[in-house]
Amino acid sequence: MIKEVSLIIPSQNAETKVHALLRSIQNWEIMPNEIIVVDSSRNKLSNPKDIEVFTKKLSIKLLIIHEKDLYPGHARNIGIKNSSNTFLAFLDTSTKPSDKWLSSGLDLIKAQNTKGVWGSTYYQADTLVSKIFRASTFGANPIKTFPGSILNKSIFNICGLFIETTRAGEDGDWMSRAELQRIKMSSPEEVLEYNQLNFMNVTKLIKKWFRNYIHTAKLPFFSAHKSYYYYGISFMAVLVAYNWNRVLAAWDRDSIFFIPNITTISVISILTIYILMRGIILPRKKGVSIGFIFPINFIFIFLLSALLDLTKALAFGYSKFFNN
């Protein structure tokens, strides 16, 4: 069945993924009557014969727009401006929707009389390394995402379009604006799959984290989150460096305030709390099983989390002092 929906897909150097996604649409319960791929690859995206045949056969308008060096927000804005339907659906090339994704979302919007439905993404991890990556970052539960969202186009008249000058975080910024405007949205029933963690290594992950947070740190919605990192790191540094005995006990061992080895105790206490939080408590809150965390994986989860936190702090610092 064909519905009057515009599917918008930003793409960059992902021809194989785009073709796989377009081919999968033939299996959907409901298909969009308009597909807009905004491609910013070095070379123009091709349109294989089989995709051209099935879209023409079903009278699906396939529009491939090629403009070099676009960030995702800019690409989505071009798709929105070129769309011709009331409802817009959004996917990324690295996400895989179920065959019921579009039909389920449209049914929810109609049944609940909302302006749209958010996306929900499950980060697939099939290897031990990718599972540790997932435990240190997104977690094992599906999370709310912009990819997978289906929206009434009128929302963009209220919330505005995407920020076009940032490589990452523009979707979170837009979602925060929608929440501030109290846009009535449905919660999704269908979940998208993201499988790129299976192809990550530590170097790629660190580079991606640093690059993304340099851009994200500039966005208004993230300023509070950024401050928490500054304050948190500053607090830890002050707490470790603070010399309790010198200030309160004047190094008098008979003073009731004198605590032997206070610096060592402070460091051990902070480190213990940090290990518990990043290695056990936060992964559990994100759906990682006890069986995976113990007996030893919590150590690797903690070490990677600490490395990512340091990378994030460095990215914030770089953004603050060198990227204003």
Q: What is the pLDDT of residues 276-318, one digit of tens each?
A: 999 999 999 999 999 999 999 999 999 999 999 889 888 877 7
pLDDT at position 321, please? Answer: 72
Count the helix, strand and coil residues of the chain and give each as a percent rounded to the nearest 5.
55, 15, 30
Q: Cα–Cα distance between 21 and 23 in angstroms, integer?
A: 5
List the domains of the chain with CATH numbers.
2-199 (3.90.550.10), 221-322 (no CATH)
183 falls in which pLDDT band (50, 70, 90)? very high
Q: What is the pLDDT of residues 115-173, one digit of tens each?
A: 999 999 999 999 999 999 999 999 999 999 999 999 999 999 999 999 998 888 899 99
Return the pLDDT at 262.
Answer: 61
Quick one: pLDDT at residue 244? Answer: 59
Dmax (CA) for the chain in angstroms is: 90
Taking residues 3-29, what's their average pLDDT? 93
From residue 100, give the alpha-carbon distance in Å to each of 1, 31, 61, 104, 200: 12, 10, 21, 6, 29
Confidence grade of residue 270 (pLDDT, cut at 50, 70, 90) = confident
Burial class (CB in 10 A: 0-12, 13-18, 19+), 237: exposed
Phi, psi (rounded to 5 degrees) for 290: -60, -40
Determine the length of the chain. 324
Task: Write the CA distances from 273 to 109, 216, 236, integer angstroms.
Answer: 44, 27, 11
For 237-249, the pLDDT digits (tens) are 556 555 555 555 5
CB count within 10 Å of CB 119 equals 28
Q: Tell me how crowded residue 308 is: count the other CB atoms within 10 A of its CB.
A: 20
